[in-house]
Amino acid sequence: MKNKYFLFIFILALSNNLYSQTRSIQEIETWKFFQGKNENAYQKDFDDSDWQEVNIPHDWAISGPFDKEIDKQIVKIEQNNEEIATEKTGRTGALPFIGTGWYRTVLHIPESAQNKQLMLNFDGAMSNAEVFINGKKIGNRPYGYSYFYFDVTDELKKGEDNTIAVRLENLPKSSRWYPGAGLYRKVRLITKNTVSFKHWGHTITTPFINSNEAKVTIKSEVQGTNLCVETIIKDKNGKKVSSNSNCQQFGNQIEQNIKVNNPKLWSPSTPYLYTAEIRLLQDGELKDQQEIKFGIREIEYTPGGFKLNGKVTKFKGVCLHHDLGPLGTAINKAALRRQLKILKDLGCNAIRSAHNMPSLEQLQLCDEMGFLVIAESFDEWKRPKVKNGYNLYFDDWAEKDVESLVRATKNHPSIVMWSAGNEVPDQFGSEGVKRLHWLQDIFHREDPTRPVTVGMDRVKAVMESGFGAVLDIPGLNYRVHLYDEAHQRFPQGFILGSETASTVSSRGIYKFPVKTGYNITYPDLQSSSYDLEYCSWSNIPEVDFIEQDEHDWVLGEFVWTGFDYLGEPTPYDDYWPSRSSYFGMVDLAGIPKDRYYLYRSRWNTEDETLHILPHWNWEGRKGEITPVFVYTSYDKAELFINGKSQGIRAKNNNSLMERYRLMWDDVVYEPGKVKVVAYDEYGNPAMEKEIVTAGKPHHLKLEADRANLIANGEDLSFVTVSVVDKDGNLCPTAANQLNFQVKGAGEYRAACNGDPTSLEMFHLPTMKTFSGKLVVLVKSTAQTGKTELIVTGKGLKTGQISLEIEAPK
């Protein structure tokens, strides 16, 4: 079976006062906030003078404090194969997201907007949003992850101040992870002519592509009559490459077909974006104009693999939740860009937005940086996973929410697949099959160019019910032992590892003796970073690697997860104080764990990898067996302890444990130096690395991911702080309390150490290091100039670093 899909993609470039002669887009950033029941707050003349002033995006719960009583759930998690209900204290992050919150702001609408159309657009509001203008309710949206908008032309008074109020309410037992709270994504007011392009009104496809030319089809939904659409396409340098115009209007649509010669195709390795300037004219007068970035690419799903622009491409993907660690769920482009840069170095080429609709900023960055995306819609349909989850809204809102997802994002080149759900209990029985049919048809109606998947964990059930056969792309969550049977029984001819591994680890923590197994727990509530511990439903990474390598019909994998996230602290979800996940290849602070390098050694084919674990500071273990593992892109390496060879190890395709990692299981610990020399295919030394036993903590080393910030009040630099000895070696067991001060044009924003058991609050300027490290976030203000981060700790030489905050270009 072959399914072929062509797509020509765009991103609507949003900025304040874009094309002021035809439309403006105003980000509504400054609001007043109150948490609690205040049912008169929607009224225009309500006194909010004592409310907190906040900037949007805003997550009201991330400042904590952590509390085990918050959303404590007595529950049996069927997805985790649990047979009895137990107390889950950190399942949703133990942060105070439950309850009611109010936001209010005042907008002055000028008289010049008298004959304009006004649209109030929300990128996301958590959750059960009710929106009021001047005391009148204009609409609501229950789903906290959905994009939505209202036409408020008749509600906003021109030449006057207008009060906008938003009421949000998060219910207990409404999530399986930390959902955040508040207006956590952007809110915009769009002002345009009544004769204009409709909101989310462009659809761009490429029904024909070859090396010489691409046919670009732009369908624009318009408002008005006697209209023409003109388009100029420019390359990434702004040079015109093609143009077209059309005045034939059918209903509310005008279609253009534009030829692009010698097209440069979009892919993860070459994320080339063109720009289209699309203009709407009525009787020769300019009425609307939008500037759009887009990519040209072709996707195809076959039993021989997923093909991108005709080339087989394995999905080397990760699942990502939407929180940004110490920032909570409040969207921040600098934090998202940092995440993607870390994943790019990993060799990752794909992201699944688990288990909800991705932010528009994330999609824009994926377009620019080159990531394939599965855009997921729901974690729950009609049958509940949690009492107050999406099941409450499915019947009334599922179609509207899918429509919003597709219409708002369908023109991003990064999106190559839609996901209608994740591990939904509706996988069982005929009713679930009917719901799948219904949802998949909505996706197909809104976008016939991409396939639809669902992450299925009840593989035997979907084989029997026909659920798996209905899907465009059968997505299997784990159940690797059923891959062969699923491949034989499903008609599509291929399957996708939509969720894989669920290996657990804590950065820099190692347990002895080294064990392989599932649901292993320890008194310190940490998991071993030897990367051999996993969950009852999953496996070590190698099991998935083999499936990817040996079967073309396995399209690839999406590892659970790329980064740690708040909530779901398996295998300690019924232990306190665990409050964040252990699944990530990268910890909550954005510091890679050992497992990051295991995947990097496979996925990053451009750069060398050589990584040694564990660390070599083991007071009291002298003379005891301390295994050494090496993750490397080379097939062979030699280990030396204090100059003495421990032998050469080579990867062995006939052994599960030795196929992708090199292991010296019988090393006897003695302090000193560990060195590994990797050999190329000819037996020549190709790369080497050393780690040493560090001395006593001496001083602090600071390293910024960015030294130059933009003076926009939201840009961030992530500064990694390491406790090191007098020679600059990391002290890997250091747990020093550090204090932070920012001087100059910047501000202290947050800190995070990656410890899933830490109850220290991110926004306070003090925190302990975890395994010798933590990360401090420095935020720009609207001022330009130098800013300095100063970090101090008892008994340690002070560390400091200077950053430059520059005017926007």
Pairing of strands 315-320, 350-353: parallel
Q: Are 265 and 309 in contact (CB under 8 A)?
A: yes
The rounded distance, in Å, linking the Cα atoms of 733 and 752 is 17
How far, rounded to the nearest angstrom, does the alpha carbon of residue 624 sit from its chain's CA centroid?
Answer: 41
CA torsion, points 753, 758, 760, 766, in degrees to nearest 10? -30
Inter-CA distances, 623 with 248, 337, 617, 618, 670, Å: 84, 45, 13, 10, 6
- In the chain, the N- to C-terminal Cα span, in Å, equals 50
Owner of token pair 């719960």: 61
The rounded distance, in Å, linking the Cα atoms of 546 and 653 is 9
Catalytic residue set:
423, 499
Tokens of 471: 């899907």
Inter-CA distances, 557 with 413, 543, 561, 719, Å: 20, 12, 11, 31
Give DSSP secondary structure letters for 375-402: EE--S--SS-SSTTSGGGTHHHHHHHHH
Pairing of strands 160-170, 11-12: unpaired
Beta bridge partners of 673: 692
The rounded distance, in Å, linking the Cα atoms of 727 and 724 is 8
Structure letter (DSSP) for residue 39 = T
Pairing of strands 415-422, 372-376: parallel
In single-letter form, the type of residue at position 49 comes to: S
The rounded distance, in Å, linking the Cα atoms of 154 and 117 is 9
Instruction: Give helix then strand counts, H and E, for the chain.
Output: 9, 51
What are the phi and psi torsion angles at 408 (to 5°)? -80, -25
In single-letter form, the type of residue at position 446 comes to: E
The rounded distance, in Å, linking the Cα atoms of 427 and 435 is 9
Owner of token pair 């007595």: 74
Structure letter (DSSP) for residue 463 = H
Pairing of strands 148-151, 737-744: unpaired
The rounded distance, in Å, linking the Cα atoms of 401 and 146 is 6
Task: Spell out the alpha helix ranges (H) of 722-803.
Answer: none
The rounded distance, in Å, linking the Cα atoms of 343 and 366 is 11
**Which of 298, 369, 368, 364 lies closest to 12 in space, CA to CA?**
364
Q: Are 181 and 168 in contact (CB under 8 A)?
A: yes
Q: Are 414 and 365 in contact (CB under 8 A)?
A: no
The rounded distance, in Å, linking the Cα atoms of 64 and 544 is 38
Q: Are 299 and 308 in contact (CB under 8 A)?
A: yes
The rounded distance, in Å, linking the Cα atoms of 268 and 369 is 7
SS (H, E, C) 293-349: EECEEEEEEECCEEEECCEECCEEEEEECCCCHHHCCCCCHHHHHHHHHHHHHHCCC
Q: Are 295 and 284 in contact (CB under 8 A)?
A: no
How far, rounded to the nearest angstrom, does the alpha carbon of residue 772 sit from its chain's CA centroid?
Answer: 27
The rounded distance, in Å, linking the Cα atoms of 349 and 353 is 14
Q: Are 712 and 782 in contact (CB under 8 A)?
A: yes
